[in-house]
Every structure is written in structure tokens, then in C-alpha cells.
Amino acid sequence: MRIAYQGEPGAFSEAAARKIDGDAQLVPCRSFEEVFDSVDAGPAGYGVVPIENSIGGSIHRNYDLLLAHELTIVGEVELPVVHHLLALPGATLEALKRVYSHPQGLAQCERFLHTLKGVEVIATYDTAGSAKMVADAGALDAGAIASARAGKVFGLVSLAASVQDFDDNITRFLVIGHKPMRSAVPDKTSIVFTLPNDPGSLFKALSVFALRGIDLTKLESRPIPGRPWEYLFYVDLGVARDEVSCARALAHLGEFAPMLKTLGTYASWKTQEGRMPDPFEVVS
């Protein structure tokens, strides 16, 4: 199995891919677009992309890419995220002038970064990629917010551990592909739809699920490109697509939603014995 992920080795997306299949051949990609393209046309059979973080919120670009590609959500992964401030051996916290990381990594460590006086905070394409930049530059006045594993991969040391704003820092990843990944029984469905700009249209749309006792675990709106002030509504439902209640709710919604698409029906992430331990939790 080949799984594409965004970032350098040591990225949190790599850890998510390892949780899917510890024996898979991993395909690092520079951008989310490249992950989707790698799965769409090869060489990867599946891809893993972050969709939301419990501190930083949604990764909006991946919502847009889900609609732009004919790929299906076939699973999800929840990954505890522990950030470290990494630097070259010999560097000190007091001497730092620059700190690099992905915008989500920076957002998740905002309170800690505010304690670093006179330090420039610079957004980059990847957390582990930031660690690589610091290592390649060889500068003792630069640091990166990334995982402990990224520090090991690129020969950096941790100047400060667990610098995220909250201990319960979790990122949810989606697994995308052309076919189901395993035989796990689906219990979650993701959809996207549009609505006419009429009074009460959103209330009417959500009521098709409420009346049937279907839990909405996520609701996200995104602008429709080229149509100002019109929106796409992305919804996660706590039920399989083929269950009678869900099928009837979607049929009802389709009666008045100009566009309705099922993005995938899959098994939700649950804590189970036997899952692979998170390699990025190891600090020593």
C-alpha cells in the first residue's frame, strides 16, 4: 500500500499515515494539491490530509480540494499533536531571533510564542519542513515548531516541549482514495450541498436530519468561487449512508438543495486496543 501525505518526514501527517498502515510505503508531497493529485492519478493508492484541529480549527483548503477532485473519503484518523520548539545543538532560547512553522502549528502555540520577546514568527509550508530549514541553514538563532520526531530526523534538540496552548490538541485527518480501504463497518457520512438564498432554507435543510434523530458532528460553510455571498455547506453525519434514516434524509434534502454530493461514508475513528501507538508522542 502507498499512502501520500503532505510534508517532510517527521510531519504530523506522516504519523497519521503510519496509524493507517504501519507497513505502508509513504509518499511525501510538498502541498495538499500534490497529495490529491498523487491519489487521483497515481502513484499513491490513498492519501491522508488534515481537515480540522481542536485548537486551530478547519483546514479550509482541503474542503475545497474535496470538491475539486473525484475522490472519496474512506476513513479518518485522530492524532494527538505535541509541539516542540526545536533548534540546532548549542542554540539557546534567549538567542533565538526567528521561529518557523506551518500556520496551523503557529496558531496552536500562540500563547507560548507571545512569551518569546523580539522573535520573528514566520509561516512556512510544513512543520517538519521548518525543522529541515533550520537544520539546513545551520543558524543558531533560528528555531522551528514541530514534532519530536522531526527533531530526531533533522538532528535538532528540543528547547521547550509541549508548547501547544492546550494539552488536548488533536488533529483529525481524512483518508482519501478511489476505493474502500478496509472492511470496517461505516458509521459516518460526509456530504456537501448548496441552498437557495431563501428565509429559513438552512433551518429546513438541518431539520431533515433532526427529525430523524441523526447527529450532525460537523457543519462547515465555504464560499462558492465566482458566486459572491453564496456558500457550500459541508456536513458530517453520525450515521452510515445506507442506513434507512440517512437515505431518507438525503432524499428529502435533495428535493430542495440545488446541489447535493456524498463525499464518503466510512468508519469513524474510535479508540481501540491494538491500534498503533503514536510514534510522535515519544520525546526521549
pLDDT at res. 270? 73
Is 3.30.70.260 the CATH classification of the domain at 188-266? yes
| Residue of 12, 32, 36, 173 marked catalytic | 173
CA distance 30 to 27: 10
Q: Looking at residues 91-117, what average pLDDT do you find? A: 95
CATH assignment, 84-161 = 3.40.190.10
**CATH says 2-80+169-180 is which class?**
alpha beta
| Residue 202: pLDDT band with limits 50, 70, 90 | very high
| Residue of 171, 189, 194, 265 marked catalytic | 171
CA distance 284 to 271: 25
CB 104 within 8 A of CB 124: no
| Residue 15: pLDDT band with limits 50, 70, 90 | very high
Residue type, 61: R
Sketch the domain layout of the chain as residue ranges. 2-80+169-180, 84-161, 188-266
CA distance 27 to 47: 9
| Residue 56: pLDDT band with limits 50, 70, 90 | confident
84-161: same fold as 2-80+169-180?
Answer: yes
Q: What is the pTM (predicted TM-score) of this model? A: 0.88
Q: What is the pLDDT of residues 112-135, one digit of tens each?
A: 999 999 999 999 989 999 999 999
Catalytic-residue membership of 171: yes
Q: Which three cell numbers stand for residue 91?
A: 542554540
pLDDT for 283 beyond 60: no
Nearest to 261 by CA among 191, 159, 166: 191
Residue type, 44: A
Following DSSP, what letter does each residue of 117-184 receive, concatenated? TT-EEEE-S-HHHHHHHHHHHT-TTEEEEE-HHHHHHHT-EEEEE--SSSS--EEEEEEEESS--S-P
